[in-house]
Chains A and B, each alone.
Chain A
Amino acid sequence: MTSLRINGKPVKAKPGITLLELAQKQGIEIPTLCHHPALTPKGSCRLCLVEDETTGELFTSCNTYVTGGMSILTDSQRVKQARKEILELIFAQHPVDCTVCDSANYCKLRRYAADAGVQGNELPGRGEFLPVFDNNPLIHRDYSKCIGCGICVRACREIQGAGAVEFKGSGWSYRPTSSFNKTMDGSSCELCGLCVSLCPVGALIEKPPLHRGVEDKRVRTVCPYCGCGCNLELRIAGGKVIGVRADIPGSWNGPSLCAKGRYGLFFVNHPDRLTQPLRREGEDLTEISWEEAIKEIAGKIKEIIKESGPSAVGILASAKTTNEENYLIQKFARAAIGTNNVDHCARLCHSPTVAGLAGAFGSAAMTNSIGDIEEAEVILVTGSNTTVNHPVIAQAIKRAVLHRGARLLIIDPRELPLSRYATIHLKPRPGTDVAWLNSMAQTIVEESLHNKKFIQERTEGFESLVETLKKYPPEKTEKITGIPAEQLRQVARAYAQARRASIFYAMGITQHIRGTDNVRAIANLAMLCGHLGKPGTGINPLRGQNNVQGACDMGALPDFLPGYQRVDSKEAREKFRAVWGREVPSEPGLTVGEMMEATLEGKLRALLVFGENPMVTDAESSLVEDALKQLDLLVVQDIFPTETSAFAHYVLPGASFAEKEGTFTSTERRVQKLNKALEPPGTARTDGETIALLSAEMGYHIQHQPAEVMKEIATLVSTYGGIDYRRLDKGGIQWPCANPQHPGTPILHVESFPRGKGLFQPVDYQPPVESPDHKYPLILSTGRILYQYHSRTMSKRSPIDRMEPQGFLEINPTDAEKMGIRDGDAVKVSSRRGKIVSRARVSASAPAGVVFMSFHFADEAVNRLTSSARDPLAKIPEFKVSAVRVEKI
């Protein structure tokens, strides 16, 4: 600690902090326009000047570090005068149009000017009016108002790692701009909106500006899109969401959000919201009361159970709804109905991770935290278009590369936005992952780069792995994968020799008929190098939905009770029986796909769907459609009408994330609390309330108060043992958290694995179910795009929809040329299972022989093409490989 004086008062400070930080700690406000705590201080606005009492010198406090013996005045006459003059100077380049400026009361410049009594007309001369950039649907740029603070430039480079904005010009014409002073489209902008949110004036403004005044309140909550789990505040005015804001002190994501988080939450206010229960009457759905709806639904369920037994009823829980509600849904299924037929969309994303990693380690989740990504020396990304699907995690990866010198290795068939950050990007043929993963491992063993100590102490089954690997010399797999052997060796060496290396993967690994094997091969690779249990070192399956981790944790799975306790375990069933007071069925239930098949076979007669849209998102939609039509009872609770609810007998209006309390568990196992910001529209109810009503009607009382439900969870699920709402109000907790004193676990498997020793599970390569042939010569891969989400129920009802309102087929120029297809041409895409029409986007992002489509768009439903062939263990369909034909129409 060093001693210094501020405004005559002696203070002690930690060396290494700036005078500005010290002053803020002391409760002294120093105005600044160019400073943000998450950015490198630049000292460019000069407003934070302070005076050295001894020398009379003025210097900026934001980038001057405390030194012992300093004597600083923050508020002297000289300082005040200098600040006033600087404000006058700024206004000599800034239009005084505050009355019509959308920055309104959020403008820091206006506030400081008001404080200092600066009117803005003290100096002669004005800034010039520059052309505004108004063509982006979400961001309005008017650099006439820019004060050159450089926050946008620094934020884009230092936090977002995109570098889409830089300064141009010198002197008077110094302004930030996008590449070549053009529009943001086509630049490296990822539309995260960070620059807009941090702009201290009105130069960057969100579009459309929904509200000019100050909001009525801000409510802290968690983003409902992907698994990153970004903390944000909803700005509420007049009972509506008027904007969002990140930058909550202490939140893990700091000021960062992505395009969806920033511009995709306005669906809450959308007039399409369901507000009243609906009942099918012929072709039409007509409004009924909740009492009628609950009574009729419960009655029909009871009838079906009576006729066909409880296994004729299935429930789809949701990775979008809260932990508490997922818990209630599975409890309702098991205790009130008496079936294990409960599943949700994790089946379609990370079920192989659950199967593969549980086999290797005994638990299946991201081993590390987002916060330690930047600690890695080597980052291997495979099967993950991270920038699009987990934008805020991609940020950290980019930062690791840009600012920490990490090497990024990408193995993925498609050219990705992350590719430009990569040291090397290898492009295997789709569906050949086991081959190259084994070859990497083989290289490591062959060159003796494996971690013998780790293998010896913490694993078993190494010998059998070595045997299997012998069949996979890189030269041999080159023929399968198309990856040059020497390049694969380089990647293997880089990964093995790093002190800290982590693997990130997502759907590109799991959505295969051999998805579980892919995951096992990844686990083998990491254990081989001992790359587990340290910061920046681990295996990170990136979970796709905001609460897919939680929905799995809560046992919304046909074979697991909450906390991954097996339904076929008597002990586990007994534990739950004791709390629930009802027997838990011992037979594992049906998975999502199996429920559809069972329906077609007449075994399943009733399906309750909470917040899912299988009509769009499940493989082989024609089967799904047939099944849904055949059901005797289809109940859908959702916030909007969906393609699935179009077949429902009853549609119930749900409450959105903004209208309820509860918790989500993010991809990094962080349990975070949602807070209620608004009342649900009309008579809409939370999923928990609906379950409680139905259950009560069926004679089984369920407590649905979220805080109480969490207490019950904590007693039954050891990893959630220490989670309670009072703790969560202070910030999220990463499970395992065994008791109220436990701080949570940022890194898994530090000393041992849940199953004791890590198990090597040797796997052999098997080709995908479909290979291209002369009739269907291309491989279709499916995935997400940045600006839409899943079946678009939310994203299409938010401003972000304008960025990409239509689907497309991404096709390599070579393939396009062969078929005479030009960019923008309408094309027919057909597979053995169906055909759809889309628009071609000719782009080298797709490798030759592979086409890519997103699955968001119901009007070009790509899942009419995909196959329902499934991984034998995890039951995930092979979304990533279907043979298709593309024709120009």
Chain B
Amino acid sequence: MGEERTRYKLVLGYGTCGIAAGANAVKTALEEAVEKGSYDVDLDIAGCMGYCFKEPIIEVTDRERDYSVVYGDLDAKKVLQVLEEHILNGRVIEEWVVRKSDDPSFGEGDFLANQHRIVLRNCGRINPESIDEYIAVGGYQAARKALTQMTSEEVIDEVSKSGLRGRGGAGFPTGTKWGFARKARGEEKYLVCNADEGDPGAFMDRSVLEGDPHSVIEGMIIAGYAIGAKQGYIYCRAEYPLALKRLEIAIDHLHQRGYLGKGIFGTDWDFDIKIKKGAGAFVCGEETALMASIEGRRGMPNPRPPFPANEGLWRKPTNINNVETLAAVPWIISHGGDKYAELGTEKSKGTKVFCLAGKVRRSGLAEVPMGYTLRQVIFDVGGGVREGKEFKAVQMGGPSGGCLPAELLDTPVDYEAITATGAIMGSGGMIVADSSTCMVDLARYFLSFTQEESCGKCVPCRIGTKRMLEILTRICEGKGVPEDMEKLQTLAADIKAASLCALGGTAPNPVLTTLKYFRNEYEDHILRHKCTAGVCPALITLFINEETCTGCGACLKVCPTGAISGEKKEPHKIDPELCIRCKLCLSRCPTESIWAE
């Protein structure tokens, strides 16, 4: 950053979502143009702002007018146009605008306006690779305050007062957990940050680590001080290279500043952090497996007790918190536990970050106060279902969670309320399903995930999930028998009752909830040999609507089996004998004349 402030600041969304959508090309184009031309701008990067569905994005801040515009869906060409039009000519390109700072109702502005951001407070706002930017927004003041003005007990009290509960999914009160670790006897204690985010459809931890790593580390410094741990570990999966890189940069900076290591913040308190890369086993998110993995053993869960607070990493008292939990801690210490507790419901306080994915219109990060209803999250923040289709279900809490139907949309997000439905809060993934989603297939997908990721140790989980999966596969193939539904129920009950860890204990949830709320779809598959959503290949037939087909031949060209025939400009036909239901034709038809039944 130059000495003299430029008029415009351009911040590129440079999280994994942005990069995946093409932010690198945008970045190169932008840098080259700014280098060559004379624009009154400086460039910066930030993590994910939450607008994953509009990536790559850029936020243009006009410092003179204290006003900013977010552009979305950019590419290397478009971004040059933004430079030309907006920076040189002062004209906002309205059609690409996602959000205007002065008009929340414009474009997708309500996506952010309907959120309440505490954990994500800095995501998308600061450069995650710069400790100065974090400090500039008040970073490390909470840690300094805790270490210099508060006793460990006071820190724990404050967190207890906030009502913060573990955001990894189980929702155990964080203050109480810290209290256990504090009281546990032992000279050496450890603090572990669980960054082994493994649920399909959950990416809030990654986004926080990529967008605001310092807030997590600051939370760790505070937690370490509170429980009496001088060594912290961040257990992060190796599939998150950007998060790891930014954590490494942050830890380097902190060592340089003396904020980590011996006598931090000028006190006599020592604290340091090591990063341990996980190899991407889902089960390593389970805390006992996670610790085994840190110790260099195969990640497999062990029974509790002994609880980690008494006998954890290397048999020393250990406290394990999730990324999101830790990221909320500095805010709580700065603003006070009471302030945090003002948000949320009676038993679930504060805010929760949800990852909107699936058929929702605005996929991305949504942080809302506890107590918001699913409807508010999915419709007010998420903008409802894509392409105006009908909402069918939301899968809450990833593969361990459950599928909730439209009737339950008014359920508030609250640990107890969600659990009562048969789903779980989990890490906060929300995968939205519409009428084109087959619920049996969805359950099958999640079970195939848990089956693959079962560590294998316990018989019910290892073998039971496999047998359930086989039954589901059979149903999807149209070979189901009526007794299958009962068999699924029994197997599910056995697995839940007899498994050691939460992976096995929750693995049947997607099946149980779909059986409960979408039994009709199972019956369709088994009794009527139909997949109403048109998903399961064995149970569908593809048709071409002769009235709307223009005979363009697009379908005929892509059909891999030559099942489609027809003269040019004449309606085409599909031979069901040859058709393999790959649906390539369906995706190519310009007039949407092909449907599955």
Contact = CB atoms under 8 A, between A and B. Distances in A.
Contacts of B470: 124-125
A92 interface: yes
Given A60-B303, A86-B460, A150-B457, A43 B467 contact: no
B498 A86 contact: yes
Interface stretch (A165-173, A380-388, A540-548, A618-626): A165-173
B469 to A, nearest CB: 9
A89 B459 contact: yes
Contacts of A174: 454-457, 462
Nearest to A147: B459
Interface string A79-112: 0001001100110110000000000000000000
B303 A64 contact: yes
A46 B454 contact: no
B457 A172 contact: no
Nearest to B494: A85
Contacts of A92: 463, 466-467
A49 B498 contact: yes
B451 interface: yes
Contact of A171 (B465, B498, B499): B465
Given A89-B494, A125-B467, A169 B460 contact: no
A752 interface: no
Interface in B425-457: 451-457
A171 B303 contact: no
B458 interface: yes
A173 B451 CA distance: 10
Given A64-B303, A171-B453, A174-B456, A58 B497 contact: yes
B497 A82 contact: yes
Given A43-B303, A63-B303, A89-B467, A169 B456 contact: yes
A676 interface: no
A170 B466 contact: no
A47 B460 CA distance: 10
Contact of A89 (B305, B455, B464, B471): B464
Contacts of B247: none
Interface in B274-303: 281, 283, 298, 300, 303
A604 interface: no
B500 interface: yes
Given A43-B303, A125-B467, A170 B494 contact: no
Nearest to A125: B470
A174 B457 CA distance: 8
Given A58-B498, A60-B303, A82-B497, A148 B456 contact: yes
A448 to B, nearest CB: 30
B575 to A, nearest CB: 34
Nearest to A59: B303
A591 B471 CA distance: 78
Contact of B460 (A64, A89, A150): A89
Nearest to A150: B457
Nearest to B500: A43
B494 A86 contact: yes
Nearest to B496: A58
Contacts of B490: 85
A42 B466 CA distance: 22
A170 B453 contact: yes
A844 interface: no
Contacts of A167: 298, 300, 456
Interface in B463-520: 463-467, 470-471, 490, 494, 497-500
Range of interface residues on A (Cβ < 8 Å): 20 to 34
Contact of A170 (B283, B460, B463): B283
A44 interface: yes
A123 interface: yes
Most A CB within 10 A of own CB, among B283, B303, B456 = B456
Contacts of A58: 497-498
Contacts of A44: 457-459, 500
A45 interface: yes
Contacts of B467: 89, 92, 123-125
A702 B458 CA distance: 63
A46 B498 contact: yes
Interface string B141-182: 000000000000000000000000000000000000000000
Nearest to A65: B305
Contacts of A171: 451-454, 456, 462, 465-466
A170 B456 contact: yes
Given A90-B463, A125-B470, A167-B298, A42 B457 contact: yes
Given A89-B494, A171-B453, A125 B459 contact: no
B303 A170 contact: no
Contacts of B458: 43-46
A32 to B, nearest CB: 12
B47 to A, nearest CB: 31
Nearest to A51: B497
Contacts of A82: 494, 497-498
A173 B455 CA distance: 10
Nearest to B298: A167
Contacts of B451: 171-172
B472 to A, nearest CB: 12
A46 B460 contact: yes
A150 B453 CA distance: 18
A148 B298 CA distance: 14
Interface in A115-160: 123-125, 147-148, 150
A545 to B, nearest CB: 39
Scoring A86, A147, A169 by chain B CB atoms within 10 A of each residue's CB, the highest score goes to A86
Contacts of B454: 170-172, 174
B281 A170 contact: yes
A703 B564 CA distance: 103
Nearest to B469: A172
A90 B298 CA distance: 23
Taking each of A45, A65, A174, which has the highest tally of chain B beta carbons within 10 Å of its own beta carbon?
A174
Contacts of A60: 303, 500
Interface string A56-70: 001010011100000
Nearest to A167: B298
Interface string A29-57: 00000000000001111110100000000
Contacts of A49: 498
A53 to B, nearest CB: 15
Nearest to A62: B303
Interface in A413-433: none
A291 to B, nearest CB: 66
A368 to B, nearest CB: 27
Contacts of B500: 43-44, 46, 60
Quick one: which of A64, A169, A170, A171 has the most chain B CB within 10 A?
A171
Contacts of A42: 457
B22 to A, nearest CB: 34
Contacts of B463: 89-90, 92-93, 172
A390 B111 CA distance: 72
Contacts of B459: 44-47, 86, 89-90, 147-148
A17 to B, nearest CB: 14
Contacts of A45: 458-459
B489 to A, nearest CB: 13
A65 to B, nearest CB: 8
A124 B471 CA distance: 9
Contacts of B298: 166-167
B455 A170 contact: yes
A217 to B, nearest CB: 35
Given A125-B467, A125-B470, A171-B466, 8 more contacts: A43-B500, A63-B303, A82-B498, A124-B471, A147-B459, A148-B456, A172-B452, A172-B466
22 contacts: A43-B303, A43-B500, A44-B459, A46-B499, A49-B498, A63-B303, A82-B497, A90-B463, A92-B466, A92-B467, A125-B466, A147-B459, A148-B456, A166-B298, A170-B452, A171-B452, A171-B454, A171-B456, A171-B465, A174-B454, A174-B456, A175-B456
Q: Which 4 A-B pairs rank lowest in CB-CB distance, beginning with the nearest?
A: A174-B456, A171-B454, A44-B457, A89-B463
